[in-house]
Amino acid sequence: MAHTIQVNIVSAEEAIFEGVAEMLVAPGETGELGILPGHAPLLTRIKAGTVKIKQPGKTEDELIYVSGGMMEVQPKALTILADTSIRAHDLDEAKALAAKRAAEEALADKSSELDRARALAELAQAAAQLQAIQKLRRK
């Protein structure tokens, strides 16, 4: 049997994934983080993007969109506490495109710094969702 690590991905709304993985790739703040069983303990922030889970006995990876949050890694368990998490196949492309357009329009409006910061965050979230949809299509 392959070496595995227990993975739990939860958000404020629900537990989105509980199971074992041979490997997990998450969107770290400075680049992708690859986690294998036995990884050194780690506590880090993650940014909006796609978490890829390689499960034993499955040929296709599980893809989950996260909007950011925290990841804790222990030698036998990994937990992601995400602000929002959605399985990639449940993402709504039309909704993500509309959010992207709205954020781009807000940025073009040149209003206050607070509005600009909010628009940039919304634009990053929409772009990450669209990227997750594209990854799913490539599978």
Q: Report the chain's C-alpha Rg in angstroms.
A: 16
Architecture category of domain 5-88 in CATH: Sandwich (2.60)
pTM value?
Answer: 0.70
Q: What percent of the chain has pLDDT over 70?
A: 80
Residue among 26, 136, 18 at smallest CA distance from 88 = 136
| Residue scoring higher pLDDT (85 or 63) | 63
Statement: residue 1 has pLDDT above 60: no
Q: What are phi and psi of 72, to 5 degrees?
A: -115, 130
Q: How many CB atoms lie within 10 A of CB 37?
A: 18
pLDDT digits (tens, 9 = 90+) for 4-19: 999 999 988 888 899 9
Decide if 121 contacts 80 (C-beta within 8 A): no
Alpha-carbon torsion 38, 45, 60, 8, what sign?
positive
Ordered by start, the domain boundaries in the chain are 5-88, 92-138
